[in-house]
Amino acid sequence: MKRLDEYKDLKEKSVEIPKELEYIRTRVEARIAKDHRRKQKWITFVSGTVTLCIAFVLAVNLFPAVASAMSNIPILNILAKAVCFDKSLQKALENDYYQYVAEVQEKDGIKVFVDYMIVDASRISIFCREEKPETAKLYEITIQGQDGHFLRTSGDYSDFIIGNQEVKEIRFDLAENEVVPEEFRLGFIYNQGDGKRTELSFSITPDPKYTKVVKSLNLDKTLQIEGQTITLERLDLYPTQAKLIVHAKESNTSIITKLSAYLNNSNAEEEYQPVSNGVVGTIDDEGNTASLWFESPYFEEGELQLHITGIFLIDKDKRYGEINYVKKSITNLPEGVILERLELIEGTLKISLQYRSLVSNYIYTLADITSKNKEILQKSSVAVMHRLEDDDDVFHEEIELADYQDGLYQLVWGFTREFPLPNELIIPIPSE
């Protein structure tokens, strides 16, 4: 039976999710990518529901041995539901778009199996398993090119458990102008305790038929929205995602942090929504949206349209919030954000902010701490977000800054207001 037929057959079945299935989601902090044209910062959202579905679909489709070993667990319906939540993944697997790797490394009682890989010109996704002592903790995952340089990527991975099997999806989204090398080295670094570390390394050769896969559709469309000018440069279609590349006019009075938009396929009458988990886009030096990422219509035929329904803006003179510990205040608090705590304990500044999520079940990075020269403080500050117990859509963000000195620091706001459009804009996307 072909994969598409298997999927359709599974989708029709209805099986209750068993208690044996557990789920764990772990996220690696996004990195900043830099290139000749402009600096871009990754934007990440976390959505447990979508990630859960991704985890189960990969376990069944990409690990036949795992599926066979778990035949006593009714996971078929979970698979069918999972692919419904990740359209790009569903289409890639239906079209047999993946590469079998089957590599194993073992050292110091730790064994790692790299089973499969899905790769295109924008992303490398590795699917693997591990056997290790409970005391061994995965500390870092690295990816290097043939010449030893670390690839400029945003890294993120998922851990999930089905029965007695644990599987990881390790995802590397490539920075602009970074390319998939002919061969790369994948490293797993474990802390074994007592200062001992173990590194396992894999040399992996992606199939060249996958590594340059992309369709670029030029738009070159300039729009005026809420008094701001934005140019839609092009749409890049990959099997794993679609990227809308945009550019905000420097003379705008506001920063365009996001567009509310989706793609539509006229022939299939399908909608392709913005990516809702992991990296969802990039921003430029000034905080404007530089790219928006969507579910991918790569494998579909028909005319594409971009629908824009709203725009997220923040006035340029309100982007930064100056911290004043003496006055216990932060200026330019965005609408709906409450300052709960501002304390200085043994030289460490502790800030607690409360806000309501702009979209149900999503966590937004509310703010970064910067110095007055607007340099992001990545090493000396820590931000932690968590839900308010009695309201799923209300979050706290707690920020700490060591060695604080009053008057030297400010917040750069990532939480901005949406302006819905009275009539959505529909932009036809030219074919190749």
What are 229-241's pLDDT values in tens digits?
A: 999 999 999 999 9
How far apart are the C-alpha atoms of 70 and 153, rounded to whole Å? 34
- Beta bridge partners, 370, equal 376, 410
- Kindly give, in sequence order, each residue whose CB lies less than 8 Å from that of residue 51, ignoring residues fewer than 6 positions away: 25, 158, 277
Query: What is the pTM for the complete model shown?
Result: 0.74
Spans of the chain, pLDDT less than 50: 1-4, 6-8, 10-40, 44-84, 360-363, 378-383
**CA distance to 49, 61, 229, 382, per residue, from 253 (Å):** 37, 49, 10, 31
How many CB atoms sit inside 10 A of residue 431's CB?
A: 10
pLDDT at 386: 54
Q: What is the pLDDT of residue 268?
A: 64
CA distances from 71 to 2, 12, 57, 165, 406 (A): 20, 18, 15, 12, 61
The full set of domain ranges for the chain reads: 3-210, 215-316, 335-415
The reply to whether CATH 2.40.160 applies to domain 215-316 is no
**Ramachandran region, residue 187 (left: φ > 0; alpha: ψ -120 to 50; beta: rest):** beta
pLDDT at 164: 62
Sign of CA dihedral 148, 151, 156, 159: negative
Q: What is the pLDDT of residue 428?
A: 93
pLDDT tens, residue by residue, 101-115:
889 999 999 999 998
The pLDDT value given to residue 422: 93
Q: In the numeric block, which tokens belong to residue 165?
A: 């099997």
pLDDT at position 367, please? Answer: 77
pLDDT of residue 370: 78
**Fold (topology level) of 335-415:** Immunoglobulin-like (2.60.40)
Q: Same CATH topology for 215-316 and 335-415? A: yes
Per-residue confidence (pLDDT) for residue 82, from 0 to 100? 33
Q: How far apart are the first and last CA of the chain?
A: 34
Would you state the pLDDT for residue 404?
84
pLDDT of residue 295: 92
